[in-house]
């Protein structure tokens, strides 16, 4: 496959630029009731990106308070380039589904791309992870991030594909993508990319060398028209085999979202690697999600999980952002199958996450049931089973238990 064709995969499964509108969530496994529920959920999720995108830069806040009008809890969140990449994709989906006017989506996409192409600070084409949404100033002492720039550019290429009849959007997206210097981000390694760079200290020592959310990053590097990676880069990172119960799959020690992010843009369902393992990454994610659910079911007596309420991943909490770890690291066979022990407090603090539960396409039935349960817990994307409370941050589901038309 040519590099042009390879990059053309990005965004293509999500949206199309013209033609008759298709049923929003048509599937033989989804009932009419499910379809209305998913439409309502999608509308509310997309509204986050409309409400929390800066009108000048297009950058999206990394998080937002459940109750934004409460003066005692001002929103001090910076913008995140990763969130902005998801926003660009959501705008295309919203326009395609007619949730938002096409012109509104198109104008916001154009503003965002113009800002990153011509105004935002970059180092060899890579952007800071967190920035002030209005000024673009670096925030939280963040790094020039390889993975978050990849998430941003994946959203840009989705927009380029969807608005491909808009020459300015096409030009701006290609300007940003062509500027990404993957050779510089290798920092001397022939194949493996660095996590990023910081002013004053230089490159981060860690590399994307083991299965994680980085597949989209390497795909963009392989398809780069300006600074391409060698094809061997794709096979250079480790693929540890996990054995948990009856499930056998590839996974690093990160949270469950590492199996999901790249699949927001790349349809792996009918593709296998050409390597000796012949991995289908979609099927691999299905197994990882089911193993994660089985792990939570094993903790049911202690933490109150159920078949519809489960999921642990990195998240916010009353004590700030926490990476609660991964059951893979502590309980599953990893790097050859040796069982590893560890305290539950390292991997589990009672928090459940819509992101972990909402892996809707790989595990459709379980995820739909879980999402319906989560939908009842006000505007939260996570909840604390121990405290029976909601986290303070939201995935914009505005009113308790009410449909979109209220």
pLDDT in tens, 241-288: 999 889 999 999 888 889 999 999 999 999 999 888 899 999 999 999
Domain of residue 149 covers 1-238
| Of 238, 261, 289, the domain-final residue | 238
Give the model's pLDDT for residue 7: 45
Rounded distance between C-alpha atoms, residue 381 and residue 370, angstroms: 12
- Cβ neighbours of 334 (radius 10 Å): 21
- Same domain (yes/no): 204, 247: no
Q: What is the pTM of this model?
A: 0.82
- Same domain (yes/no): 189, 303: no
Give the model's pLDDT for residue 297: 84
- Same domain (yes/no): 165, 264: no
- Same domain (yes/no): 228, 328: no
- Same domain (yes/no): 15, 38: yes
- Cβ neighbours of 201 (radius 10 Å): 9
Q: How many domains does the chain have?
A: 2
- Same domain (yes/no): 4, 44: yes
Rounded distance between C-alpha atoms, residue 265 and residue 217, angstroms: 11
User: Are the CB atoms for 24 and 101 separated by under 8 Å?
Assistant: no
Encode pLDDT of 285-322 as tens digits. Answer: 999 988 888 888 887 877 777 777 777 777 776 677 77
Q: What is the DSSP letter of 263?
A: G
Higher pLDDT, 200 or 357: 200
Q: What is the DSSP letter of 30?
A: S
- Same domain (yes/no): 223, 250: no
Give the model's pLDDT for residue 4: 47
- Same domain (yes/no): 258, 210: no
Q: How is residue 256 written in tokens?
A: 């469950």
- Same domain (yes/no): 199, 78: yes
In order of 30, 120, 175, 264, 272, the CA distances from 365 in angstroms are: 9, 42, 41, 19, 24
Higher pLDDT, 61 or 7: 61
Helix H or strand E segment including 79: strand 79-80
CATH of the domain at 206: 1.50.10.140
Q: How is residue 136 written in tokens?
A: 């673009």
User: Are the CB atoms for 214 and 239 separated by under 8 Å?
Assistant: no
DSSP bridge partners of 60? 53, 80
Give the model's pLDDT for residue 337: 34
- Same domain (yes/no): 85, 231: yes
- Same domain (yes/no): 62, 81: yes
Encode pLDDT of 112-138 as tens digits. Answer: 999 999 999 999 999 999 999 999 999
Higher pLDDT, 37 or 392: 37
What's the whole-number average pLDDT of the chain? 79
- Same domain (yes/no): 256, 402: yes
pLDDT bucket at 71, cuts 50 / 70 / 90: low
Encode pLDDT of 208-232 as tens digits. Answer: 999 999 999 999 999 999 999 999 9
Q: Which of 146-155, 170-179, 365-374 has the lowest mean pLDDT?
A: 365-374
Query: 22-26, 200-204, 313-317, 398-402: which has the highest mean pLDDT?
Result: 200-204
Q: How is residue 125 written in tokens?
A: 């084409």
Rounded distance between C-alpha atoms, residue 171 and residue 162, angstroms: 13
Q: Which of 51-55, 68-72, 82-86 has the lowest mean pLDDT?
A: 68-72
């Amino acid at each position: 496959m040519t590099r042009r064709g390879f990059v053309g995969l990005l965004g293509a499964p999500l949206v199309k630029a013209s033609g008759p509108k298709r049923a929003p969530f048509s599937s033989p496994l989804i009932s009419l009731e499910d379809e209305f529920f998913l439409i309502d959920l999608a509308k509310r999720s997309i509204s986050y990106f409309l409400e929390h995108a800066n009108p000048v830069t297009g950058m999206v806040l990394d998080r937002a308070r459940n109750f934004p009008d409460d003066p005692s809890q001002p929103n001090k969140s910076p913008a995140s380039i990763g969130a902005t990449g998801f926003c660009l994709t959501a705008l295309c989906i919203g326009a395609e589904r007619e949730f938002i006017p096409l012109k509104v989506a198109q104008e916001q996409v154009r503003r965002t791309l113009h800002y990153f192409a011509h105004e935002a600070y970059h180092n060899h084409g890579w952007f800071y992870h967190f920035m002030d949404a209005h000024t673009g100033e670096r925030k939280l002492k963040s790094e020039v991030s390889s993975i978050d720039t990849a998430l941003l550019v994946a959203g840009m290429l989705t927009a380029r594909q969807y608005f491909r009849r808009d020459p300015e959007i096409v030009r701006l997206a290609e300007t940003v993508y062509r500027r990404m210097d993957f050779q510089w981000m290798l920092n001397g390694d022939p194949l493996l990319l660095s996590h990023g760079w910081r002013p004053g200290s230089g490159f981060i020592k860690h590399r994307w060398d083991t299965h994680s959310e980085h597949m989209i990053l390497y795909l963009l590097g392989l398809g780069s028209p300006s600074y391409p990676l060698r094809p061997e880069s794709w096979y250079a990172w480790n693929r540890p085999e996990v054995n948990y119960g009856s499930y056998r799959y590839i996974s690093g020690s990160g949270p469950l979202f590492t199996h999901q992010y790249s699949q927001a843009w790349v349809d792996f369902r009918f593709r296998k690697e050409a390597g000796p393992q012949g991995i289908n990454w979609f099927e691999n994610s299905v197994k990882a999600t089911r193993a994660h659910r089985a792990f939570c079911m094993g903790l049911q007596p202690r933490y109150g999980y159920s078949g519809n309420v489960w999921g642990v991943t990195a998240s916010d909490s009353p004590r700030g952002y926490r990476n609660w770890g991964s059951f893979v690291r502590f309980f599953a066979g990893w790097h050859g199958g040796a069982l590893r022990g560890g305290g539950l407090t390292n991997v589990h603090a009672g928090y459940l996450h819509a992101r972990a539960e909402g892996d809707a396409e790989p595990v459709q039935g379980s995820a739909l049931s879980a999402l319906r349960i989560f939908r009842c817990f006000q505007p939260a994307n996570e909840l604390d089973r121990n405290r029976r409370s909601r986290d303070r941050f939201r995935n914009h589901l505005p009113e308790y238990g009410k449909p979109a038309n209220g």
